[in-house]
Amino acid sequence: LGRVLFYDKQLSRNVTVACASCHHQHAGFSDPRQFSVGFEGGRTTRNAMSLANLRFTNLKGTRPGFFWDERAPTLEAQVLIPIQDQLEMGMDLKELEVKLQKLPYYQPLFEAAFGSPQVSSDRIAKAIAQFLRSMLALSSKFDSAAAKAAGADYAVDFADFTAQENLGKSLFINGVGGIAEFGCAFCH
Protein backbone atom coordinates (compact mmCIF):
# COMPACT_ATOMS: atom_id res chain seq x y z
CA LEU A 1 0.00 0.00 0.00
CA GLY A 2 2.72 2.48 0.93
CA ARG A 3 4.60 1.79 -2.29
CA VAL A 4 1.45 2.32 -4.39
CA LEU A 5 0.71 5.59 -2.60
CA PHE A 6 4.32 6.77 -2.99
CA TYR A 7 4.19 6.38 -6.79
CA ASP A 8 0.57 7.51 -7.31
CA LYS A 9 0.00 10.94 -8.87
CA GLN A 10 -3.57 10.83 -7.54
CA LEU A 11 -2.13 12.28 -4.33
CA SER A 12 -1.66 15.66 -6.02
CA ARG A 13 -4.43 18.17 -6.73
CA ASN A 14 -4.13 17.99 -10.52
CA VAL A 15 -2.84 14.39 -10.75
CA THR A 16 0.58 15.45 -12.07
CA VAL A 17 3.05 14.62 -9.29
CA ALA A 18 3.62 11.82 -6.81
CA CYS A 19 6.09 11.53 -3.95
CA ALA A 20 8.33 9.76 -6.46
CA SER A 21 8.23 12.79 -8.77
CA CYS A 22 10.73 14.53 -6.48
CA HIS A 23 12.26 11.50 -4.77
CA HIS A 24 13.71 9.70 -7.79
CA GLN A 25 14.64 6.07 -7.27
CA HIS A 26 17.58 6.34 -9.72
CA ALA A 27 18.99 9.21 -7.62
CA GLY A 28 18.87 7.47 -4.24
CA PHE A 29 15.28 8.64 -3.72
CA SER A 30 16.41 12.28 -3.83
CA ASP A 31 16.04 15.00 -6.43
CA PRO A 32 19.08 15.75 -8.60
CA ARG A 33 17.67 19.26 -9.21
CA GLN A 34 18.61 22.06 -6.82
CA PHE A 35 14.93 22.80 -6.20
CA SER A 36 12.10 20.33 -6.66
CA VAL A 37 9.11 21.13 -8.88
CA GLY A 38 5.55 21.17 -7.56
CA PHE A 39 2.22 20.14 -9.08
CA GLU A 40 1.72 23.39 -11.01
CA GLY A 41 5.35 23.70 -12.09
CA GLY A 42 6.46 25.99 -9.28
CA ARG A 43 9.87 25.47 -7.72
CA THR A 44 10.15 24.61 -4.05
CA THR A 45 12.55 26.45 -1.77
CA ARG A 46 14.65 23.36 -1.05
CA ASN A 47 15.92 20.15 -2.60
CA ALA A 48 14.04 16.92 -1.92
CA MET A 49 16.49 15.03 0.27
CA SER A 50 17.25 11.32 0.07
CA LEU A 51 14.84 8.90 1.69
CA ALA A 52 17.41 6.14 2.24
CA ASN A 53 17.81 4.82 5.78
CA LEU A 54 15.01 6.89 7.33
CA ARG A 55 14.27 3.98 9.65
CA PHE A 56 17.39 5.00 11.57
CA THR A 57 16.37 8.66 11.90
CA ASN A 58 14.85 10.07 15.08
CA LEU A 59 15.15 6.80 16.99
CA LYS A 60 13.63 7.21 20.44
CA GLY A 61 13.43 10.96 19.92
CA THR A 62 17.20 11.40 19.59
CA ARG A 63 16.76 14.05 16.89
CA PRO A 64 14.13 16.78 16.72
CA GLY A 65 12.53 15.67 13.47
CA PHE A 66 12.38 15.39 9.70
CA PHE A 67 12.91 17.82 6.77
CA TRP A 68 15.92 20.08 6.39
CA ASP A 69 14.62 22.22 9.26
CA GLU A 70 13.45 19.21 11.32
CA ARG A 71 9.91 20.62 11.65
CA ALA A 72 8.09 17.27 11.46
CA PRO A 73 8.41 15.28 14.72
CA THR A 74 7.70 11.86 13.14
CA LEU A 75 7.95 10.26 9.72
CA GLU A 76 4.17 9.85 9.74
CA ALA A 77 3.75 13.61 10.23
CA GLN A 78 6.39 14.34 7.60
CA VAL A 79 4.77 12.40 4.76
CA LEU A 80 1.52 14.37 4.99
CA ILE A 81 3.15 17.82 4.78
CA PRO A 82 4.19 17.71 1.07
CA ILE A 83 0.76 16.32 0.14
CA GLN A 84 -0.90 19.38 1.71
CA ASP A 85 1.70 21.94 0.66
CA GLN A 86 0.17 24.42 -1.79
CA LEU A 87 3.30 24.39 -3.93
CA GLU A 88 4.25 20.71 -3.80
CA MET A 89 1.08 18.60 -4.16
CA GLY A 90 -1.76 20.94 -3.13
CA MET A 91 -4.22 18.46 -1.60
CA ASP A 92 -6.58 18.86 1.33
CA LEU A 93 -6.40 15.65 3.41
CA LYS A 94 -10.19 15.23 3.67
CA GLU A 95 -10.51 15.64 -0.11
CA LEU A 96 -7.68 13.13 -0.58
CA GLU A 97 -9.44 10.57 1.63
CA VAL A 98 -12.63 10.87 -0.44
CA LYS A 99 -10.68 10.76 -3.71
CA LEU A 100 -8.74 7.62 -2.79
CA GLN A 101 -11.79 5.89 -1.30
CA LYS A 102 -13.46 6.13 -4.74
CA LEU A 103 -10.53 4.52 -6.58
CA PRO A 104 -11.22 0.76 -6.82
CA TYR A 105 -7.61 -0.36 -6.43
CA TYR A 106 -7.24 1.21 -2.98
CA GLN A 107 -10.01 -0.61 -1.14
CA PRO A 108 -8.36 -4.06 -1.28
CA LEU A 109 -4.96 -2.55 -0.41
CA PHE A 110 -6.30 -0.74 2.67
CA GLU A 111 -8.22 -3.91 3.61
CA ALA A 112 -5.05 -6.01 3.40
CA ALA A 113 -2.97 -3.51 5.35
CA PHE A 114 -5.45 -2.40 8.02
CA GLY A 115 -8.28 -4.94 8.10
CA SER A 116 -10.87 -2.61 6.54
CA PRO A 117 -11.08 -0.67 3.26
CA GLN A 118 -11.51 2.69 5.04
CA VAL A 119 -9.12 5.37 3.78
CA SER A 120 -7.91 7.91 6.34
CA SER A 121 -5.06 10.40 6.57
CA ASP A 122 -3.66 8.44 9.50
CA ARG A 123 -3.60 5.24 7.45
CA ILE A 124 -2.10 7.01 4.44
CA ALA A 125 0.66 8.39 6.67
CA LYS A 126 1.34 5.02 8.30
CA ALA A 127 1.47 3.18 4.97
CA ILE A 128 3.82 5.64 3.25
CA ALA A 129 6.04 5.92 6.34
CA GLN A 130 6.35 2.15 6.55
CA PHE A 131 7.31 1.98 2.88
CA LEU A 132 9.96 4.67 3.44
CA ARG A 133 11.36 2.73 6.39
CA SER A 134 11.94 -0.20 4.03
CA MET A 135 14.37 1.81 1.87
CA LEU A 136 17.78 0.76 3.11
CA ALA A 137 21.21 1.38 1.66
CA LEU A 138 23.39 -1.37 3.06
CA SER A 139 26.02 -2.23 0.49
CA SER A 140 28.00 0.97 0.00
CA LYS A 141 31.79 1.06 -0.05
CA PHE A 142 31.60 2.65 3.43
CA ASP A 143 29.45 -0.23 4.76
CA SER A 144 31.94 -2.77 3.44
CA ALA A 145 34.97 -0.96 4.87
CA ALA A 146 33.23 -0.36 8.22
CA ALA A 147 32.39 -4.07 8.47
CA LYS A 148 36.04 -4.98 7.88
CA ALA A 149 37.10 -2.49 10.56
CA ALA A 150 34.44 -3.69 13.01
CA GLY A 151 35.08 -2.32 16.46
CA ALA A 152 37.72 0.11 15.24
CA ASP A 153 37.42 3.86 15.70
CA TYR A 154 35.88 5.39 12.58
CA ALA A 155 38.43 8.19 12.91
CA VAL A 156 41.10 5.69 11.82
CA ASP A 157 41.65 5.50 8.06
CA PHE A 158 39.93 2.60 6.30
CA ALA A 159 42.40 0.41 4.40
CA ASP A 160 40.00 0.09 1.43
CA PHE A 161 39.57 3.86 1.06
CA THR A 162 41.69 6.21 -1.02
CA ALA A 163 43.38 9.15 0.71
CA GLN A 164 40.63 11.43 -0.59
CA GLU A 165 37.87 9.10 0.67
CA ASN A 166 39.49 8.89 4.10
CA LEU A 167 39.77 12.68 4.21
CA GLY A 168 36.07 12.97 3.34
CA LYS A 169 35.18 10.40 6.01
CA SER A 170 37.25 12.30 8.55
CA LEU A 171 35.60 15.62 7.72
CA PHE A 172 32.15 14.00 7.83
CA ILE A 173 32.73 12.32 11.22
CA ASN A 174 35.30 14.49 13.00
CA GLY A 175 34.47 17.85 11.47
CA VAL A 176 36.79 20.63 10.48
CA GLY A 177 39.80 20.86 12.76
CA GLY A 178 38.50 17.95 14.84
CA ILE A 179 35.45 19.95 15.98
CA ALA A 180 32.58 17.47 15.69
CA GLU A 181 29.97 20.25 15.59
CA PHE A 182 31.52 21.31 12.27
CA GLY A 183 31.15 17.80 10.85
CA CYS A 184 28.28 16.32 8.88
CA ALA A 185 27.83 13.43 11.32
CA PHE A 186 26.81 15.88 14.05
CA CYS A 187 23.38 16.02 12.35
CA HIS A 188 23.51 13.06 10.00
Q: Report whether 137 contacts 28 (CB < 8 A).
A: yes
Residue 183 phi/psi, 5° resolution? Answer: -105, 155
pLDDT score, position 68 = 62
Task: Give the model confidence (pLDDT) of 135-148 as tens digits.
Answer: 888 778 888 888 88
Distances from the Cα of 95 to the Cα of 72, 113, 127, 137, angstroms? 22, 21, 18, 35
pTM of this prediction?
Answer: 0.77
Distances from the Cα of 52 to the Cα of 135, 137, 138, angstroms? 5, 6, 10
Task: Give the model confidence (pLDDT) of 92-134 as tens digits.
Answer: 999 999 999 999 999 999 999 999 999 999 999 999 999 998 9
Q: DSSP readout, 9-55?
A: GGGSTTS---GGGTSBGGGTSB-SSSS-B-TTSPBPSS-----TTGG
Task: Give the model confidence (pLDDT) of 32-90 as tens digits.
Answer: 898 999 999 999 888 888 888 777 776 555 556 666 667 667 889 889 999 999 999 99
Q: Report whether 127 contacts 119 (CB < 8 A).
A: no
Count of alpha carbons within 13 angstroms of residue 174, beta-carbon side: 14
64/96 Cα distance (integer angstroms):
28
pLDDT score, position 70 = 72
pLDDT score, position 28 = 83
pLDDT score, position 74 = 83
- Is residue 14 very low, low, confident or very high in pLDDT (cuts 50, 70, 90)? very high
